Amino acid sequence: MFKRTLLACALLTVAQPSSAEGDLDAIRQEIAQMKAQYEARIAALEARLKEAEGRPVGSTANTAASHDHDHGRGFNPDVSLILQGQYAQRKDIPERTITGFLPAGHVHGSERGFSVDHTELVLSADIDPTFRGYANFALIDQSVSVEEAWFQTLGLGEGFSLKAGRFYSGLGYLNERHPHAWDFADAPLMYQALFGERFAHDGMQLKWLAPTETFLEFGVEAGNGNAFPGANGNSSGIGAFSTFAKIGGDLGASHSWRAGLAYLSANPKARTAHWEDANGDAVGTTFTGDSKAWIADFVWKWAPQGNPKTRNLTLQAEYFRREESGRLACDGAGTLCAGDPSDRHRSKQSGWYAQTVYQFMPRWRAGLRYERLDSGTLDFGGLPLDAPDYNPDKTSLMLDWSPSEFSRIRLQFARDRSMQGIDENQVTLQYIMSLGAHGAHKF
């Protein structure tokens, strides 16, 4: 390497005549400094080699073992910061909901105008040869929330792994992905309706990866059930349970696919929300009962000869179904719910989305997503609540440019008809910047 460097410098010197003798002197001095530095480094390495050759084998092993033992003690996590902001053109609607579905909480990207939508601070590292740790903090204005904080076993054996803490469930395809890894600026409507965006457990997850050529993975999860659609308060015990199975593989050198089925069961206790009575007045609701959801997902990817750098295509779709049954109460002074009546409640609802994203040249992608929800059957018993017969839908187009794997600029246009009586055109200009080391995203 040193000889090549010297030769390159000499050729440059010959090929490009110097404008003054002073330039030649400067180059000679730089070469002399480089030569001295390399000679010093080579001498140091030779001394270390001589010392190691004279050391007993057992001593070397002990030194390596001591290093491994100390490995997890230092402050050595990978740290990354995700900057995500946007300009959003929306109608001035005081409260956005999805008609026919109980509101499930905050949704990223719902602000109008300029906003720092979502900033993430991520820390991760192998704690020791047995465990790995991960934490993701969401920074939004003056608040900080723990999106994920978990540890996971490494090499539990026989294809098993155990995770504990707060983590996004493995159900569905998109649920585990953070907003900066989405292909569109917002989550599909059905994720917003069922989980408030994504579903997280405070609990444990056990996964098993089958030792087969075909990708085959099974998982079970149990948590406290505090996240929507659950509401377990301060109760002990398991408030939510989920399980999933995933299968996938390759078709030739250019195609790969993955399919999955998932089930979620939660037992909300006094879950609060708001709704409209038969006169259109806002009222509060409280639900206690069972909530069950099923998800089927499929993803197919194409990249010529397995190389996605120039062109690639992804087709992705998920289908959702939710059933709830239990007891519902409503309240609201001066409304039809005055007196806090309660009665049985049953609902069956479903929805789906399908999308495709095509990278037509390096760094440029275009995507189309269509989604449609079915408010299904809403049985409020004898409660004076409105049961709209409406099927929300939304169409989104996006174009993004990624100068590198650490930055992305996205322009998105959407026609949103998720609220009955409102037909809205939305424009979003979004940036996503990644600073520091960040792990690769899943298939």
Tell me, yes or no, whether 15 lies in a domain: no
Any residues with CB less than 8 A from the CB of 127 and at least 6 apart, and which?
A: 72, 133, 151
Residue 421: half-sphere exposure toward Cβ, Cα within 13 Å: 7
Kindly tell me if the per-residue pLDDT of 442 is higher than 60.
Answer: yes
Looking at every residue in the chain, the average pLDDT score rounds to: 87
Tell me the average pLDDT across 219-242: 90
Cβ(367)–Cβ(183) below 8 Å: yes
Tell me, yes or no, whether 253 lies in a domain: yes
Residue 32, token pair as written in the block: 């002399």
What DSSP character marks residue 438? -
Which residues partner with 328 through β-bridges? 287, 343
- More confident: 435 or 62: 435
Q: What is the pLDDT, as a whole number, of residue 143? A: 87
Q: What is the pLDDT, as a whole number, of residue 20? A: 57
Classified as helix, coil or strand, 373 is strand
Number of domains composing the chain: 1
Reduce the secondary structure of 47-104 to three states and give it as a string.
Answer: HHHHHHHCCCHHHHHHHHHHHHHHCCCCCCCEEEEEEEEEEEECCCCCCCCCCCCCCC
Q: Which of 3-12, 71-80, 138-147, 368-377 is least confident?
A: 3-12
Reply yes or no: is the peptide bond before residue 229 cis, omega within 30 of 0.
yes
Q: Which domain holds residue 257?
A: 154-429
Residue 38: half-sphere exposure toward Cβ, Cα within 13 Å: 11
Kindly tell me if the per-residue pLDDT of 272 is higher than 70.
Answer: yes
Per-residue pLDDT tens over the stretch 326-340: 999 999 999 999 999
Tell me, yes or no, whether 438 lies in a domain: no
Per-residue pLDDT tens over the stretch 19-54: 556 677 777 777 777 776 667 677 767 766 666 665
| DSSP helix, strand, coil percent of the chain (3-state; round to 5) | 15, 50, 35
Give CA torsion, residues 17, 18, 19, 20, to 10 deg: -140
Per-residue pLDDT tens over the stretch 333-366: 999 999 999 999 999 999 999 999 999 999 999 9
Q: What is the pLDDT, as a whole number, of residue 30? A: 75
Q: What is the pLDDT, as a whole number, of residue 168? A: 97
Q: What is the pLDDT, as a whole number, of residue 191? A: 96
Q: What percent of the chain has pLDDT over 90?
A: 70
Any residues with CB less than 8 A from the CB of 65 and at least 6 apart, and which?
A: none
Tell me, yes or no, whether 17 lies in a domain: no
Tell me the average pLDDT across 279-304: 95
Classified as helix, coil or strand, 385 is strand
Longest dimension (CA), the chain: 98
Give CA torsion, residues 218, 236, 105, 192, to 10 deg: 20
0.75 cut: is pTM over it? yes
Tell me, yes or no, whether 288 lies in a domain: yes
Tell me, yes or no, whether 341 lies in a domain: yes
Q: What is the pLDDT, as a whole number, of residue 15? A: 43
* E strand residue ranges, 210-281: 215-223, 240-251, 255-266, 271-276
Cβ(412)–Cβ(430) below 8 Å: yes
Per-residue pLDDT tens over the stretch 96-153: 889 999 887 655 556 889 998 889 999 999 999 999 999 999 988 778 999 999 999 9
CATH code, domain carrying 347? 2.40.160
Any residues with CB less than 8 A from the CB of 207 and at least 6 apart, and which?
A: 160, 161, 162, 163, 170, 217, 218, 219
Tell me, yes or no, whether 304 lies in a domain: yes
Question: CA-to-CA distance for 204 and 429, rounded, in angstroms?
Answer: 38
Per-residue pLDDT tens over the stretch 192-210: 999 999 999 999 999 999 9
- More confident: 218 or 60: 218
Tell me, yes or no, whether 122 lies in a domain: no
